[in-house]
Amino acid sequence: MHYYYDVLANLDVCLWEFYEWEQTDNIVPIKKVPFVRVSEQDMKNFMGYQISFDEEWVQKYLDKTFVKNQKEHLNCILFSSTKNSILFEVSSDGTVITRSKLLIEDENNCNEVAFSLKECSVNYQSMNKISSLKELRQGSSEKHFLLVELNTLEETKNIKKCSYLYYEWFGKFESDLSKMIEDMKLELQKEYTLKIHDIAELIKMSYKERL
């Protein structure tokens, strides 16, 4: 069995690009992890589908991942096709629990090391296709934040605050609560813009001022 050493993993259900990692994420400093070279086709499947590994195949990789400053071991496997890399955390029956891409330096080093390994045959099933994220993480997060705020304003019938946000958003006054909510929700269905970011920051600031 081959191992890879000293790599950061952002273990999550979603597969975040390295530039979307946040400090609050479950970023794990892995000291030692089983390392497997796979084909490009396998890697495409790993990136694009929910994966379940054969239970018998996965047994030899269980409890083999060491984390810095932790006594408990994880069930992880790091895969590389020499062009792309991905790390999976798996359950004892082979189900993928979390997944992670690597930081760019780790990715390059991992792929380089993979050239020295023999390509392995991996027993797995490709299940549901993973929906591709149309927007960056920040955009999706801020849109969700704004939608929650608009729903709250609608439920509480807070016309004053809604009018203020509407003016900041569109540069004009409106007094019809339903129209304001509808117009702003329609904007959230469009492509993420700097204006959406500015409105989200404005709302966050309004809550900070109450503290």
pTM (predicted TM-score):
0.68
Q: What is the pLDDT of residue 168?
A: 93
Give phi and psi for 76, each to the nearest 5. Answer: -125, 155
Could you list the mean pLDDT of each consecutive 10-residue stretch along the chain, which spans 211 residues? 95 84 89 97 94 95 94 95 96 93 94 96 91 66 86 92 94 94 90 87 77 45
Q: What is the pLDDT of residue 133?
A: 53
Pairing of strands 27-37, 76-80: parallel
Q: What is the pLDDT of residue 210?
A: 54
Spatial CA neighbour of 98 closest among 82, 120, 74: 74
Q: What is the pLDDT of residue 211?
A: 45
